[in-house]
Structure 1
Amino acid sequence: MDTRFPFVDWFRNASPYINAHRGRTFVILVEGEAMASGRGEQLVQDLALLHTLGVRLVVVFGIRPQVHEALTRAGVAPTRHDGRWVADGLVMAHVEQVAAHQRLWLEARLSLGLPSTPLHGVELTVVSGNLVMAKPLGVRDGVDYDHSGEVRRVRGAAIEGLLDKGSLVVLPPLGFSSTGEVFDLDAAEVAQQAAVALNADKLILLGESEGLRDASGTLLRQLTPAEAEPRVEQAEAGSELARHLQAACLAARQGVARTHLLSWHNHDALLGELFTRDGVGTMITQHRYEQLRPAELGDVAGLLELLEPLERRGMLVARSRERLEHEIDDYVVIERDGMVIGCAALHVFADSGIAELACVAVHQSYRGGERGERLLEALERRAAQQRVNALFVLTTHTAHWFVEHGFHTASLAELPPLKRDTYNHARKSKVLIKSLPG
């Protein structure tokens, strides 16, 4: 009997990411709301799993709801200004107490190794300390913020040394000054500054929202800092969204390769973002996660993998590795996180003013996102640069798509002589032509 285990297929698909993440440095912010909601246990297990897979982890934790609850119980109503509370002596006493309690809780859970737990057999060394230096916010708009502060610097070399020894580093939202004072910090700023100081590969911000959405409610998978920054201005001052967005954009502009906005409400968010190609949240990066570019020789293996299913179904003419290598300069590809998911070629017939649009293909998992249109537009621009007056295409399955994009049915007589002479009559491909602006 053939017993199928879906997990096995997922594990196979995740294996490239397991290898890619090993030895990388991730800074992960877990907001206090996640711990307050009871999600802490599973998040700790996910963090431990990442550590055992060789990820160098720095975990920053927030404490806002816990401090708010402690202040409410004590009958303390802190002064708030511009999204921050003023941490006077009374407020700061509760901040320190809550931060110490949360740190101890995390360390205890990361030490759990009973046989009935997911951490059985795993020994983690968790380290915290005076790793973040701070300075006071001072007096702003006439308000003295007292012990509310901002990050002066993160002791990157010290943290690197701890990570090199295999430790998991935990950073509370507190900072220390050279005068021996303790300051209340924004956890998102601590995470952002730590990621920059460590030149981290990823900054991951776990909050209420699963990411950013467009006007229609569709989740935006990827944005550049320039695209995301206007939303910081639109968000309420001091809100989690404003703090996370600002941290993500600053980190991306300061060299952190990828920043991720995820929701702790989704139990699979952290692992789903890291071990699947499409992820589950919004990523902010200076570098395009998916890009259309000229093909290179290194893309040939990916092209063969993309085209083989379509060739097997008779939708495309089979192309050998040698042919692809010879014609590679004619191709453009869409690359998504290292995988070729689309391609098209422009074969120009010299002195004829006409070119063939060939091998237009998009991976079956990524159709419907106007990638075919992007490929066509890119090659039309290339054709115009080479003074091509018209494009033709030979197709057996997708004539309607080309007609929708400005092609019309033509005859063999309209093809260049070389293409006309090599036409495969057995395939009975339809000939379509599109005139280009002069």
Structure 2
Amino acid sequence: MDLIFPHTFVPWFRSVAPHIHAHRGKTFVVAIAGELIAAGKLTAFAQDCALMQAMGVKLVLVHGFRPQVEEQLQAKGHVSRFSHGMRVTDPVALDCAQEAAGQLRYEIEAAFSQGLPNTPMAGAAVRMISGNFITARPVGIVDGVDFQHTGLVRKIDAIAIRQNIDAGSLVLLSPFGFSPTGEAFNLSMEDVATSAAIELQADKLLFVTEVRGIPQDPHAGDPRDEDVEIDQELALAEAEKLLAQLPNPTQPTDTAFYLQHAVKASKEGVERVHILPFNVDGGVLMEVFTHDGIGTMIVDEKLESLREATADDIGGILQLIEPFEKDGTLVKRDRTEIERDIDHYTVIEHDGVIFGCAALYPYPEAKTGEMAALTVSNNVQGQGDGERILKRIEQRAKAMGMTSIFVLTTRTMHWFIKRGFAQVDPDWLPESRKRKYNWDRRSQVLVKKLA
């Protein structure tokens, strides 16, 4: 064995542990594009899902089948028809969709049934359940186009799904639904996954797709391209604003295609919606169990009550930071100083109680800013609130044109290093900040570059 391995594996595993604890018992709806299966990624993906389930995550898996249906149609010499971003499902297309769904269900169940020694599936024993959990209705005629057997989700049997996942099963949903009269309808994977996540009030909805996420500049190019910058996180309000500016999507590679479903799910109470690429090995694990992930996360900030501070928050901030000033973790700040600088602060509150804060002091001449007084109440530490405040501070800094942020700390150096900060010499500080540096306190200076 390489002697270095324990020294890299153990710190990595410990860094992942908070995410494992946070996700245990949570419900994730994972939607996979049919392209993932067509690209031969199913076995590795099944292994990653089995690992998540082993760590206590309750999983609902929804598969798509666009390329598989196309293959069936081409084999029969039948031409596909699309309108309004949806397939027109005539009787031939319906037969092809049913054949494709049946074949994919077989392949997915086979992938989750593997148990070869020396593989991640060894001893996994994943029990997969599928059935008639979806009631559908026809799209009907839209702008003169008869969509025939194309449908939309009318109802999800959330009670039955919940019973199965609570019992330890993985529930598989195909993009098919049936009307009360037994008529079959071809649905979209995105509609099924979004509806299921909303009805289950899932903790996460993950779209594992052809695209890498939501581009920072929606006009920068194809979101599949590696050189297109992807937003790691979008607040729901930002996502809604962006969606309103985009044309109606006609294909999955359009920026608005997955974003529209992410916004809908987020508005209906799904706490986190992720859009990530299927072509990254272990992408789901990286998105769920690492700090930054690899795709785009859409989050409704109202859930965290994460916002910029106002004068009404001064008392709450003082009460929050007082214990940390007394034990020397923070430099003491008086009320006058906080009143003067209140517009620099970001806070998290719940039911009117502030339990987290931080301040950003800009140094525009050096295109950097100091994050100060990062504090989370002892009562809620370990739940990711410090990271959420850090993310907001980074967003504020980027909006002000900063290329980096820095912190001065005597006790929490490792927390910052794990989140992308690097130690530098105090001489790195901007001149105006260097003059105020307390050499007796000997604070460590840590810097994070902003992408």
TM range (shorter): 0.7 to 0.9
1:400 equivalent in structure 2 = 430
Tell me if 1:221 matches 2:232: yes
Stretches (4+) displaced over 4 A: 288-301, 322-335, 339-345, 365-375, 396-399, 423-429
Distance in structure 1 (CA, Å) of the matches to 2:440 and 2:118: 65
Which runs of structure 2 are paired with 1:117-132 in the superposition (5 Å)?
A: 117-132=119-134
CA drift of 1:321 comes to: 2.1
Distance apart, 1:225 and its partner CA? 3.0
Q: 1:256 aligns with which of 270, 275, 278?
A: 270
Aligned match of 1:321: 327
Report the Cα distance in structure 2 between the residues aligned to 1:424 and 1:114, rounded to whole angstroms.
Answer: 60
CA distance in 2, matches of 1:426, 1:166: 57
Structure 2 spans left out of the alignment, 5+ residues:
221-227, 349-354, 362-368, 375-385, 403-425, 444-451
In structure 1, C-alpha distance between the alignment counterparts of 2:142 and 2:191, rounded to whole Å: 18
Task: Tell me what 1:237 maps to.
Answer: 250
Structure 1 residues 3 and 189: CA distance shift in structure 2, 3 A: same
What secondary structure sits across from 1:115 in the alignment? coil
Structure 1 pair 327/374, CA: closer, same or farther in 2 (3 Å)? Answer: farther
In structure 1, C-alpha distance between the alignment counterparts of 2:357 and 2:9, rounded to whole Å? 24
Tell me, yes or no, if structure 1 residue 273 matches structure 2 residue 287.
yes
Match of 2:40 in 1: 38
Equivalent residue letter for 2:284: L
Q: Which moved more, 1:114-123 or 1:174-183?
A: 114-123
Deviation at 1:91, TM superposition (A): 1.0
TM-score where L is the length of structure 2:
0.70
Structure 1 residues 175 and 326, CA gap change in structure 2 (3 angstroms): same
Contact 1:196 1:254 in 2 (8 A): yes
TM superposition shift of 1:163: 0.9
Equivalent residue of 2:124, what SS?
coil
* Change in CA separation of 1:12 and 1:340 when aligned onto 2, cut-off 3 Å: farther
Q: Residues 348-387 of structure 1 correspond to what in structure 2 (within 5 A)?
A: 360=372, 369=394
Q: 2: CA distance between counterparts of 1:367 and 1:239?
A: 30
Per the TM alignment, residue 228 of structure 1 is displaced from its structure 2 partner at its CA by 2.2
Distance 1:300 1:125, change over 3 A: farther
- Mapped partners of 1:296, 1:69: distance in 2: 61
Q: How many Å separate the matches in 2 of 1:97 and 1:123? A: 27
On the 8 A contact 2:243/2:260 being kept in 1, the answer is no
TM-score (norm 1): 0.72
Deviations, residues 407-431 of structure 1 (Å, cap 9, x unaligned): 9x89xxxxxxxxxxxx9897899xx
Q: Structure 2: how far apart are the matches of 1:424 and 1:287?
A: 36
Deviation at 1:268, TM superposition (A): 2.9
* 1:56 pairs with 2:27: no
Q: Given the superposition, is the C-alpha separation of residues 12 and 334 from structure 1 closer, same or farther in structure 2, using an over 3 Å criterion?
A: farther
1:99-148 Cα shifts (integer Å, max 9, x gaps): 01101111111111122432111111100100011000111111211110
**Which of residues 185, 193, 204 is equivalent to 1:202?**
204
Deviation of 1:333 after TM superposition, in Å, equals 5.6
**Is residue 53–residue 59 contact of structure 2 (8 Å, CA) maintained in 1?**
yes
Q: After superposition, where does 1:303-322 map in structure 2 within 5 Å?
A: 320-321=326-327
CA deviations on 1:2-36 (whole Å, 9 max, x unpaired) are 63432322111000000100000000100000100
Structure 1 residues 177 and 197: CA distance shift in structure 2, 3 A: same
Describe the SS at the equivalent of 1:212: coil
Which whole-Å CA distance do the structure 1 matches of 2:276 and 2:10 have between them? 25
Shift of 1:326: 8.1
Aligned length: 365
More divergent stretch after superposition (241-250 vs 227-236): 227-236
Query: Cα 1:397–1:149, aligned 2, differ >3 Å: closer, same or farther?
Result: same
CA-based RMSD of the aligned residues comes to: 4.0
Pair 1:148 & 2:150 matched: yes
Q: Contact 1:361–1:372 at 8 Å: present in 2 too?
A: no
Q: 1:219 to 1:358 in 2, by over 3 A?
A: closer
Overall identity of the aligned pairs, in %: 34
| Conserved? CA contact 1:60–1:190, under 8 Å | yes
* Residues 260 and 8 of structure 1, relative CA distance in 2, 3 Å threshold: same
Q: Which runs of 5+ in 1 are unaligned?
A: 305-318, 346-356, 378-395, 411-422, 430-438
Match of 1:102, SS state, is helix
* Paired letter, 2:372: V
Structure 1 residue 179: Cα displacement: 0.5
* Paired residues of 2:89 and 2:150 also in contact (CA < 8 A): yes
1:67 and 1:95 in contact (8 A); partners too: yes
Letter of the 1:360 partner, please give it.
Answer: A
* Residues 236 and 301 in structure 2, CA contact (< 8 A), matched pair in contact too: no
Query: Shift of residue 250 of structure 1?
Result: 0.1
The Cα of 1:89 is off from its aligned counterpart by: 1.2
Highest Rg: 1 or 2?
Answer: 1
Change (3 A) 1:325 1:175: farther
For 1:148 and 1:180, locate their aligned partners in 2 and report how far apart those are by CA, in whole Å.
14
* TM-superposition CA deviations, 1:384-403 (whole Å, max 9, x none): xxxxxxxxxxxx75763647
| Distance verdict in 2 for CA 1:401–1:164, change over 3 Å | farther
